[in-house]
Amino acid sequence: MLEIRENLSPDGYRNFPEDSHITEAFDGDRIIGYIVYSYELNKTVVHGMDDGGDIMLCDGLVRSVIFKSCLKAVDTLVFGSPDCLENLRCLKFITGDNFTVENIDRFMNGCKDCKNKIQ
């Protein structure tokens, strides 16, 4: 069963900024994906992620960060790393060379039926 949870220990993620937050996806006891991000002034920056090529996992990881950003009243998400570009574009998180999602609250409300759009 898939479970997404925050990793409170940065062990194994040393190439990212010290204040980074890490959310991992688990299948049982095995990590199958992660997203590393930090909160900066008025934005959340994704420093890296790995979805193993699974578009639905990509969607879940990014949405978990968007949700947490909305709770902090942060309205912009920036992908600072070119990881998982194909899935991010397919899911319409990014377009072209623009790696920024503006107004993430509106974005979340506008994608209530995205799963049906990508199939």
Q: What is the pLDDT of residues 25-42, one digit of tens each?
A: 999 999 999 999 999 989
Q: Region 13-24: what's the mean pLDDT?
A: 87
pLDDT at res. 81 = 76
Half-sphere exposure of 63 (CA within 13 A, CB side): 18
- The predicted pLDDT at position 101 comes to 84
Q: pLDDT of 41-91, one tens digit each?
A: 899 999 999 999 999 999 999 999 999 998 999 999 999 877 788 888 898
For every residue of 78-119, DSSP letters joined together read EE-S-TTHHHHHHTTS-BTTB-EEE-HHHHHHHTTTHHHHH-
Mean pLDDT for all residues in the chain = 85
Where residue 93 falls (left for φ over 0; alpha for ψ -120 to 50; beta otherwise) is: alpha
Enumerate domains of the chain plus CATH numbers. 2-9+17-112 (3.40.630.30)
Residue written as token pair 């072209």 = 96
